[in-house]
DNA sequence: GTAAAGCTTGACGCCACGTCAATGTCAAGC
DNA sequence: GCTTGACATTGACGTGGCGTCAAGCTTTAC
């Protein structure tokens, strides 16, 4: 199964021109090229594109992105590092929102503005060098160390656990059992453990995710129907959500 | 009180070159220019710069930003519109995180990727036209309508309420009363009502902010010391946080 | 069979600055 | 008073990541 250049552009929310540019500079070459000269992309290309766009949001230049991707072995463990960045971005946004709310309050109160507060959360580029360092030399220190410390056996074991968890969720929801019952709660527990194992997740180095984070993720499964497809559609996602929130209420 | 070009650049997290560029194109002219030719900026210039940078993050071009700012009357009510955008960005990020978590799970489970899920939350530019429209012609429909529908009297009334609320928070915290007591809870109630009045805030058109949002904001006051300065420093922010969380526990 | 839509390869354009270069100015220390 | 180093000025050129034509071939839809 492969896609035309336009199809992949729409999927990724970019343009065909950009994809051709990426081909030109050798950043993302199509899976195959038809006898007519058309570019066709496959699934691995999609994964690579997702990573390219993540790195672009990070502010990296295209050559730097190429370096990072080519020095890469495992896509998943690099994606974990991306997650960390994304979460920092969320915090930056949160601070920016707070800053604007603050400015509104001050302006409407007719008070003096405190310059330092006004721009909190704004500096988007400040870490640029640090970012280049991290993604260049440092080789994903945290995430990498974590993944590398596993033996090949442990790695496949980890993968199988994820896969099994997904299947078990679907099976449980299809059997129509009680999401607050023991069996579903055991699944929620496993889900919790899985999240804890992802570096960069809040609480991954300690007691595990916070209640808010855990519940928030569960809600997201339902809120976005396409996302819930992983758990066998809307109904499955709802089941997962119910089980997870019940678990959070009791244990977190 | 005014600042040199470098000082203001550091405050805003940008460069002096950018500020000179903004001066060149007439987007942000210094408050005054010394006899030596140096640029000096004052407080209104800072406010304008904050808004410029917000609009830049929106993806607007500099000429468009100039248009928007010059057509502007009230800074606060425009900032409210910005808030809405920022919150949408947060949601986009949340979806992007979910998407990446999803990809990790799928890759490690060795499952097939579903292309539509992979890029959820990525499209950053899709709304560009819509944004230009909104900030151009549409004249901040929601926020504007809300603000304009108020009489002059109501507007000053609103402003005074904000200002008074801030002062009351500080006074209460300095008196050392119990944050869970009736008096502090009344303040939390007023804070709640204020947030409800800000369009774009989750729940602003209904029952008011959700518990999570309310508590999250309270936590932020403490987490970032500079931000808490509005409430009379660390201690004041802690007091506000305690009162707000107690309020949320009981009423939300 | 024809039109509309999509693909190709160039090639030029462009915005928001980065990055020199050459020079003037301010504050601190000797 | 003189030097030094940080910071300011204007001017000009450079550039990254595409957008945007142009001219022509292919595929799809009717």
The β-bridge relationship of strands B32-33 and B3-4 is unpaired
Nearest CB to B111 within list A76, A119, A163? A163
Per-residue confidence (pLDDT) for residue A17, from 0 to 100: 94
Q: What are the chain B neighbours of A104 within 8 Å (beta carbons)? A: 76, 79-80, 83, 198
- The complex's ipTM works out to 0.54
Given a cut of 70, whether residue A147 has pLDDT beyond it is no
* Range name among A21-35, B15-29, B140-154 with the lowest pLDDT average: B140-154
B219: distance to nearest CA of chain A, Å? 11
- Interchain contact, B11 vs A120, CB within 8 Å: no
Using alpha carbons, select from B121, B202, B198 the residue that is nearest to residue A101: B198
Q: Which residues contact B129 (CB under 8 A, 6 or more apart)?
A: none
User: What angle in degrees, to the nearest 10, is found between the helix axes of B233-251 and B211-223?
Assistant: 170
Closest Cβ–Cβ partner in B83, B119, B227 for A11: B119
- Reply yes or no on whether the pLDDT at A139 is more than 90: no
For residue A113, pLDDT over 70 is answered with: no
Shortest-distance nucleotide from B21 CA to C1': C17
Whether B95 sits inside 8 A of A227 (CB atoms) is yes
- What rounded mean pLDDT belongs to chain B? 71
Q: Among A145-154, B12-21, B22-31, name the one with the lowest average pLDDT.
A: A145-154
Q: What is the rounded CA–CA span in Å between residue B113 and residue A46?
A: 9
Does residue B122 register a pLDDT over 60? no
User: Stated in angstroms, how far is A56 CA from C13 C1'?
Assistant: 23
Q: For tokens 């994809």, what's the residue?
A: A19
Q: How many residues does chain B have?
A: 252
A216 and B220 within 8 Å at the Cβ level: the answer is: no
Candidate from B79, B102, B104 with C-beta closest to A100: B79
User: For residues B194 and B161, is the Cβ–Cβ distance under 8 A?
Assistant: yes
Instruction: Identify the pLDDT of residue A178.
Output: 92
Distances (CA, A) of A141 to A77, A146, A159: 11, 8, 21
Do B237 and B227 meet the contact criterion of CB atoms below 8 Å apart? yes
CA–C1' nearest nucleotide, residue B62 = C16
Q: Do B104 and A76 touch (CB under 8 A)?
A: yes
**Which of A52, A56, A27 is CA-nearest to residue A131?**
A56
Residue B22 and residue B12: Cα distance in Å, rounded? 14
Q: Shortest CB distance from B86 goes to which of A100, A109, A113? A: A100
3-state SS class at B161? helix
- Nearest nucleotide by C1' position to the B61 CA atom: C15
Q: How far is B234 from chain A (nearest CA, A)?
A: 14
Extract the tokens encoding B203: 């729940």
CA distance A16 to A243: 42
B54 band by pLDDT with thresholds 50, 70 and 90: confident
Task: Name every chain B residue with its beta carbon within 8 A of the beta carbon of A202.
Answer: none
Cβ contact (<8 Å) for A105 and B47? no
Q: Is the CB of A26 under 7 A from strand D?
A: no
Distance A250 CA to D12 C1' (A): 67
Q: What confidence tens digit (pLDDT) does each residue in A170-218 have?
A: 788 888 899 889 999 988 898 888 777 655 455 555 666 777 667 766 7
Look-up: residue for tokens 């944050």?
B179
CA–CA distance from A1 to each of A43, A166, B112, B114 (Å)?
Answer: 8, 24, 12, 12
Per-residue pLDDT, B129: 46
B21 contact to strand C (CB, 7 A limit): yes
What's the CA gap between A204 and A208, in Å, rounded? 5
Encode pLDDT of A5-25 as tens digits.
998 988 888 899 999 999 999
Cα distance from B196 to chain A (closest Cα, Å)? 13
Give the nucleotide at minimum CA-to-C1' distance from A39: C7
Q: Report the gap between the CA of A27 and the closest CA in chain B (Å).
A: 18
Q: d(Cα A14, Cα A17) in Å, to the nearest integer?
A: 8
What angle, 0 to 180 degrees and rounded to 10, lies between the N-to-C axes of helices B128-135 and B62-70?
Answer: 30
Contact A160, A150 (CB under 8 A): no
Name the residue facing B162 among A57, A108, A123 (closest C-beta). A108
Mutation pick from A31, A119, A156, A168 vs chain B, by most beta carbons of B within 10 Å, is: A119
Residues 22-51/A with CB within 7 Å of nucleic chain C are 37-39
β-bridge partners, B40: B4, B32
Is the distance between the Cβ of A44 and the closest atom of strand D smaller than 7 Å? no
Instruction: Please report, rounded to whole angstroms, the spatial distance between the CA atom of protein residue A50 and the C1' atom of nucleotide C11.
Output: 29
Residue of A nearest to B161 (CA): A109
Q: How far is B189 from chain A (nearest CA, A)?
A: 17
pLDDT of residue A131: 45
Count of residues making up chain A: 252
pLDDT of residue B19: 93
Give per-residue pLDDT as tens, B151-196.
555 655 665 666 677 778 878 888 889 988 999 998 888 888 777 7
3-state secondary structure labels for all residues of chain A: CCEEHHHHHHHHCCCHHHHHHHHHCCCCCCCEECCCCCEEECHHHHHHHHHHHHHHHCCCCHHHHHHHHHCCCCHHHHHHHHHHHHHHHHHHHHHHHHHHHHHHHHHHHCCCCCHHHHCCCCCCCCCHHHHHHHHCCCCCHHHHHHHHCCCHHHHHHHHHHHHHHHHHHHHHHHHCCCCCCHHHHHHHHHHHHHHHCCCCCCCCCCCCCCHHHHHHHHHHHHHCCCHHHHHCHHHHHHHHHHHHHHHHHHHC
The per-residue pLDDT of chain A, averaged, comes to 71
Percent of chain B surpassing pLDDT 90: 11
Six token digits for residue A90: 């969320």
Which is it for the CA torsion B130, B132, B135, B137, positive or negative?
Answer: negative
Q: What is the model's pLDDT at position A212?
A: 67
The answer to whether B142 CB sits below 7 Å from nucleic acid chain C is: no
Per-residue pLDDT reduced to its tens digit, A212-247: 667 766 766 665 544 555 566 667 778 888 898 889
Q: A23-73, pLDDT tens digit by residue? A: 999 999 999 999 999 999 998 898 889 888 877 876 778 888 888 787 765
Helix, strand, coil distribution of chain B in percent, nearest 5: 70, 5, 30
Instruction: Work out the average pLDDT over B109-114.
Output: 51
Measure the CA angle with vertex B204, ends B201 and B206; round to 5°: 145
């Amino acid at each position: 199964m492969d896609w035309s250049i336009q199809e992949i552009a729409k999927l990724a929310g970019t343009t065909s021109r950009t994809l051709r540019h990426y081909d030109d500079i050798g950043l993302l070459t199509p899976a195959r090229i038809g006898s007519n000269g058309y570019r066709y992309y496959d699934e691995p290309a999609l994964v690579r594109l997702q990573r390219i766009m993540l790195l672009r949001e990070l502010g990296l230049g295209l050559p730097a992105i190429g370096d990072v991707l080519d020095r890469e072995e495992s896509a998943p463990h690099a994606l974990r590092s991306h997650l960390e960045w994304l979460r920092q971005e969320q915090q930056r946004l949160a601070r920016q929102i707070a800053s604007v709310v603050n400015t509104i309050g001050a302006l409407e109160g007719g008070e003096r503005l405190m310059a330092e507060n006004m721009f909190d959360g704004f500096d988007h580029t400040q870490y640029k060098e640090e970012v280049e360092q991290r993604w260049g030399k440092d080789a994903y220190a945290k995430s990498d160390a974590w993944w590398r410390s596993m033996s090949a056996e442990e790695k496949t074991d980890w993968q199988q656990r994820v896969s099994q968890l997904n299947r078990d969720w679907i099976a449980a929801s299809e059997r129509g059992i009680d999401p607050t019952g023991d069996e579903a709660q055991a699944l929620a527990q496993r889900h919790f453990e899985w999240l804890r194992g992802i570096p960069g997740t809040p609480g991954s180095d300690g007691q595990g995710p916070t209640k808010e984070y855990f519940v928030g993720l569960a809600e997201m499964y339902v809120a976005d129907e396409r996302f819930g497809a992983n758990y066998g559609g809307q109904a499955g996602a709802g089941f997962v959500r119910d089980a997870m929130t019940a678990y959070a209420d009791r244990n977190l």
